[in-house]
């Protein structure tokens, strides 16, 4: 154990002191927050110039109903489309509305010398569509028909609650469950392959530099592989925790810069505080979930357990591949059987988010090669405790089995040079008796 501890310390110290580790630790949270906050900041800072639209309405029914607003202003003209360039001196674009627009809604043409954004196209289309609908409603000659239609419009907001075995209810949010399922499943996929490939690359580098021949004279190959896996696991866990801390701190610093109203408060378990009665029920459910300490503990705690377990399992397999080849180019064929289960889990993520309690979802969350992604997709919807415990036991037991099998490949492969082994040869290495 002392030798394994020394190897873990060596791997950890060697990697955390690299400039690449420091840069990625600092830059990744900034990039992630930039993706989230930059559009919000730009939308607040952007002052869109009012677009002046010159309109030739041959039907005579549309222009009178088009009102100016902060985004667009309309001016009626009698120019024909043939001379639309002359009209651009008076506005941003020229809009031609045909005489049979009521019977032929496609009789619309917009001319502009500058690129027309999709947002402007949709704005003009929606405005004209509403006018056409109003004109067609008038043909029914029903008094106050627009007012009647407006009065019968009803927005439905459903409150969703989840009942536990004791009959206690907690507010639930489908949007939050789906969002967190996809986010954490994708993070598991990225981190497992990123740090697993780091183990494989480290083994290849040491093998090519003949360092292993010196090290294994005093350390068993199994101990060396296990120490390398756990050392890089410590690096990965340190980096992930630092990312979480930096993201939380930077988010708290950036939120005041974006302004906004007071933050609503919801007590754990979905109990509303004062002043919350006027909020949308779906927003209330979402807030109650993200402020529930037990939900957050279960979510982030499970993420760490499955991230560590998934990494350990796949890192052992990546280490075996690294010990069996001489360079990174030769690893592509051997990586395919390892990558297929994780890629399949990522593809199945959409189905699992729709049917988290189906038989396929349950089985995939138990199989160790897919459980890190699939179980993280199921947890936000609620998973029985026994399923969670069984899945973790199978995952970590498979890691120990993978270390045992990979250790057998490791002890033979680290001394093999100049030839990429076939799967048949790898099987022989695994069954080789010392």
Assess whether 406 and 313 both reside in one domain.
Answer: yes
Domain boundary pick from 85, 118, 152: 152
Are 136 and 193 in a shared domain? Answer: no
Is the same domain home to 145 and 177? no
Residues 143 and 178 in one domain: no
Query: Which of 83-92, 111-120, 193-202 bottoms out in mean pLDDT, i.e. has the lowest?
Result: 83-92
Is 230 part of any domain? yes
pLDDT score of 167: 56
Q: Answer yes or no: do 87 and 121 share one domain.
A: yes
> 434 or 79: whose pLDDT is higher?
79
pLDDT tens string 215-231: 666 777 677 777 878 88
Residue 32 lies in a domain: no
More confident residue, 68 or 49: 68
Better pLDDT: 270 or 23: 23
Indicate whether 315 and 417 sit together in one domain: yes
Q: Is the pLDDT of residue 366 over 90?
A: yes
H or E, element range at 267: strand 266-267
pLDDT number for residue 276:
47
**Residue 138 domain boundaries:** 51-152
- 282 is a domain residue: yes
Q: Is residue 7 within 8 Å of 224, Cβ to Cβ?
A: yes
Count of domains in the chain?
A: 2
Domain match, 100 and 186 both: no
The predicted pLDDT at position 390 comes to 94
User: How many residues are recorded in the chain?
Assistant: 434
Write the pLDDT tens digit of every residue in 204-214. Answer: 777 666 666 66
Based on the fold, state whether residues 98 and 131 are members of the same structural domain: yes
Q: Give the domain-ending residue among 152, 181, 207.
A: 152
Q: What value does the mean pLDDT take over residues 50-57?
A: 80
Task: Indicate if 147 and 185 belong to the same structural domain.
Answer: no
Cα dihedral sign for 317, 319, 323, 328?
A: positive
Do 340 and 422 fall within a single domain? yes
Q: Between 75 and 178, whose confidence is greater? A: 75
Last residue of a domain, one of 152, 184, 214: 152
Q: Are residues 91 and 196 in the same domain?
A: no
Q: For residue 157, is it within any domain? A: no
Residue 275 pLDDT > 70, yes or no? Answer: no
Confirm whether 29 is domain-assigned.
no
Per-residue pLDDT tens for 236-252? 888 888 888 888 887 77
Question: Do 354 and 387 fall into the same domain?
Answer: yes
Mean pLDDT score across all residues of the chain = 75
Please indicate, yes or no, if residue 158 is contained in any of the structural domains: no
Question: Is residue 119 domain-resident?
Answer: yes
Per-residue b or e along 206-232, where b marks 16 or more CB atoms closer than 10 Å to that residue's CB:
bbeeeebeeebeebebbbbbbbbbbbb
Q: Supply the angle between the helices 331-347 and 174-208 in degrees, to the nearest 10.
A: 170
* Half-sphere exposure for 179 (CA within 13 Å, toward CB): 7
Predicted confidence (pLDDT) per residue in 300-337, tens digit: 888 888 888 888 888 888 888 877 777 767 677 778 88
Kindly tell me if the per-residue pLDDT of 272 is higher than 80. no
């Amino acid at each position: 154990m002392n030798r394994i501890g020394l190897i873990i310390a060596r791997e950890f110290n060697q990697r955390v002191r690299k400039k690449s580790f420091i840069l990625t630790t600092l830059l990744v949270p900034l990039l992630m927050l930039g993706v989230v906050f930059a559009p919000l900041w730009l939308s607040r800072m952007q002052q869109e110039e009012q677009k002046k639209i010159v309109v030739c309405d041959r039907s005579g029914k549309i222009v009178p109903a088009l009102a100016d607003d902060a985004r667009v202003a309309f001016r009626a003209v009698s120019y024909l489309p043939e001379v639309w360039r002359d009209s651009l001196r008076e506005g941003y674009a020229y809009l031609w509305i045909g005489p049979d627009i009521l019977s032929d809604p496609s009789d619309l043409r917009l001319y502009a010398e500058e690129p027309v954004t999709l947002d402007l196209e949709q704005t003009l289309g929606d405005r004209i569509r509403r006018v056409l609908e109003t004109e067609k409603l008038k043909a029914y000659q029903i008094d106050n028909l627009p007012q009647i239609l407006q009065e019968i419009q009803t927005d439905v907001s459903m409150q969703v609650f989840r009942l536990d075995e004791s009959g206690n209810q907690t507010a639930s949010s489908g949007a939050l469950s789906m969002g967190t399922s996809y986010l954490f499943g994708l993070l598991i996929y990225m981190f497992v392959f990123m740090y697993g490939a780091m183990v494989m690359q480290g083994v290849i580098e040491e093998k090519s530099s003949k360092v292993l021949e010196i090290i294994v004279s005093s350390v068993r190959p199994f101990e060396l592989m296990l120490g390398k896996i756990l050392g890089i696991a410590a690096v990965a866990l340190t980096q992930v925790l630092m990312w979480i801390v930096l993201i939380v701190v930077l988010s708290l610093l950036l939120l005041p810069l974006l302004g906004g109203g007071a933050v609503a408060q919801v007590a754990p378990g979905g109990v509303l505080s004062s002043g919350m009665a006027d909020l949308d029920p779906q927003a209330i459910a979402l807030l109650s979930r993200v402020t529930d300490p037990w939900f957050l503990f279960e979510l982030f705690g499970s993420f760490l357990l499955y991230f560590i377990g998934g990494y350990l399992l796949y890192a052992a397999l990546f280490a075996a591949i690294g010990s069996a080849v001489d360079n990174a180019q030769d690893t592509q064929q051997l990586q395919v059987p390892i990558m297929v289960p994780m890629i399949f889990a990522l593809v199945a993520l959409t189905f699992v988010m729709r049917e988290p309690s189906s038989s396929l979802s349950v089985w995939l969350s138990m199989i160790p090669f897919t459980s890190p992604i699939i179980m993280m997709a199921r947890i936000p919807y609620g998973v029985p405790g026994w399923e969670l415990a069984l899945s973790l036991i199978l995952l970590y037991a498979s890691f120990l089995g993978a270390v045992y099998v990979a250790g057998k490949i490791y002890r033979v492969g680290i001394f093999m040079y100049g030839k990429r082994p076939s799967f048949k040869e790898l099987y022989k290495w695994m069954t080789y008796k010392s």
